[in-house]
Amino acid sequence: MKLIIFVAGVAVGFVIGSRAGRGAYENIRNKWQGFSDSDPVQKVKGDVRDLAGRAASDLGDKVSEAVGKASDKLDEVTGKNAGTAPTEA
């Protein structure tokens, strides 16, 4: 990610500092478009998207489990499910 930001910064600096104007900008844009649309880059983007989806799903499961445990503990402490008076922790 840092590399992409660096390359984008270099490209912007080149375009702003260039006296070639629109032609240089179009050249960089076309090269970037070709790079970002290439099969290897698309595969990596897909792999990262899948990995992020799995990580988010795993995190959601862990959060749900933690909330369930906390809810059970709260019910235990307050005596809601047991039908008894609250206990001191």
User: Tell me, what's the pLDDT at 37?
Assistant: 92
Structure token pair of residue 10: 């270099």
Over residues 20-47, mean pLDDT = 88
* Residue 32: Cβ within 10 Å count: 13
User: Tell me, what's the pLDDT at 86?
Assistant: 53
Structure token pair of residue 8: 């984008």
pLDDT at residue 55 above 90?
A: yes
